[in-house]
Amino acid sequence: MLPNDPRALLDRLLDRGYTQSVAPVVNAIAGDLDDGGLIRQRLKELEAEAERLRQAGLPLTPDNPVLRALRADLSDAMDGYAQDMNGVAGDVSANGAGAAGGRLQQ
């Protein structure tokens, strides 16, 4: 059933298009953060390393290899997310324009 309020209709159309366009990006990010994801793995490794260093009375330094691995993988992941988001930006804009145009024609 279509809402009588044009704003409500437009919101529903935009939400559907936005979800279809952005879902793959959100799923990729979530995949990296779930239990089997690379970023989650690196965070667990850092947590274990921090505990090891704490027990040894040593500080966590910026050149720590575990921390460096996390930073490198996180940087790569963020670059990939940015590319993914840029890749769907046109679809998001087109969906918004199409939804607005379709409503204006009604």
Q: Is residue 73 part of a domain?
A: yes
Q: Is residue 93 part of a domain?
A: no
Distances 95 to 28, 73, 102, 103 between C-alpha atoms, Å: 21, 33, 10, 12
Q: Is residue 65 part of a domain?
A: yes
Quote the number of domains for the chain: 1
pLDDT at 11 over 80: no
Q: Is residue 36 part of a domain?
A: yes
Q: Is residue 103 part of a domain?
A: no
What's the rounded Cα separation, in Å, for the pair 78 and 81?
A: 5
pTM of the model: 0.63
pLDDT at 80 over 80: yes
- Per the structure, the complete domain to which residue 54 belongs is given by 6-88
Tokens of 87: 């890749």
63 confidence band (pLDDT: 50, 70, 90): very high
The total of other beta-carbon atoms located within 10 Å of residue 75's CB is 10
Tokens of 39: 């970023």
Q: Is residue 67 part of a domain?
A: yes
How many C-alpha atoms does 71 have within 13 Å on its Cβ side? 8
Q: Is residue 29 part of a domain?
A: yes
